[in-house]
Structure 1
Amino acid sequence: CIEAVLGWAISAEGFINLAWQTCPHTKQIDERDYKSTISKIKYLCKVNDINYGSLSWRDSLSQLFELRNSLVHFKVPITYVGFSFAPKYQQDFSDTNMLRYQKSVISLINDLGKKLNMDVSFTSGNYELFYYDE
C-alpha cells in the first residue's frame, strides 16, 4: 500500500508538472513558486476554466497527498503492531480508500489532460511498450 500511495502521488505530481509546462497560461510561470501539487492543480483549473470545487475526485486526491506527505516526512511515527499498522493506517490503506486514490489520479490525468489537449490514452492501457538497448 505504501508503494502504491507513493507511486500514485509521484505520477500525479509528474503529470501536473508536465501539464504546467504544456499549458499556454502557465508555461512561463516557475512552477516552483507553488508550494504543493494541489495548489498547482487549483491554479491550472482556474486558468483553464475548470471549476475545481465541482471535481468529484479532488477530495480523494487531497487525501492521497496528505497520506503521502505523512509517509514521506514522518511527522507522526508509524507504529507496527503484530501483523497490522496502527488504526490510522488501517483506515488510510483500506481497499475502499486505495481504489479512491487510484481513481482520483486517473481522473485528474484524464480531465486535465483532455482540457489541455494532452495525450492521456495511456490511462486506459493504450500505449506502445518500449525499452532501451545499448
Structure 2
Amino acid sequence: LRKRYSGFWPDRYVHEGDAGGQEILWINTSGEIMQPAHWGQHHSRCLGYLVACAEEGLSTRLLVLFNAGNSPISFRLPLAGSDAGWQLLLDTGLDDGCSGLSTVPVQGQYSMLAHTTVIMLHTGRKSVETQQEFKL
C-alpha cells in the first residue's frame, strides 16, 4: 500500500484545514463523522478513519476500522461514491488477515469480530461530488 499509494503517507503532519487538501476523518460505527460527544462515549470501543488521496484524476480513499471491544460489531460503511464499493484488503479476524477475502466489493454494513482491524480501499474518478460527500 505504501508504495502503490504514496499520497496516503505525506512527508509532513496533516493539520486540519491544510491547503494540500488531505484530511483525516474519524468515523463511528454508524458511519458518521465523529463529533465531540462521540469521543466522550467511554463505552464505545470501535471507530474508524477515512483518508483520501487524489492523484492523476483519481480519488483513492483508505478506510481503516478498529474494534477494540469484546463483542463482534457491525460497522456501517461510508458511501463509496459509486457502485464499485470498498475493496477489502485486510481483516485481522481472518486466520492470516487476508485468506478468503472476496473480490466482490463491500457495501453497506461490514461485520467485525472482537479485537480486530479492517482495511478497505476505494478508487474512483475524482469529482466535486465525492469531495463534498466527505469534505475531502
TM-score band, normalised by shorter chain? under 0.3
Q: Which has the higher contact order (CA 8 A, sep 6+)?
A: 1
In terms of Rg, which structure is larger? 1
Larger strand percent = 2
Larger helix percent = 1
Query: When the two structures are superposed, what TM-score results if normalisation uses the length of structure 1?
Result: 0.24
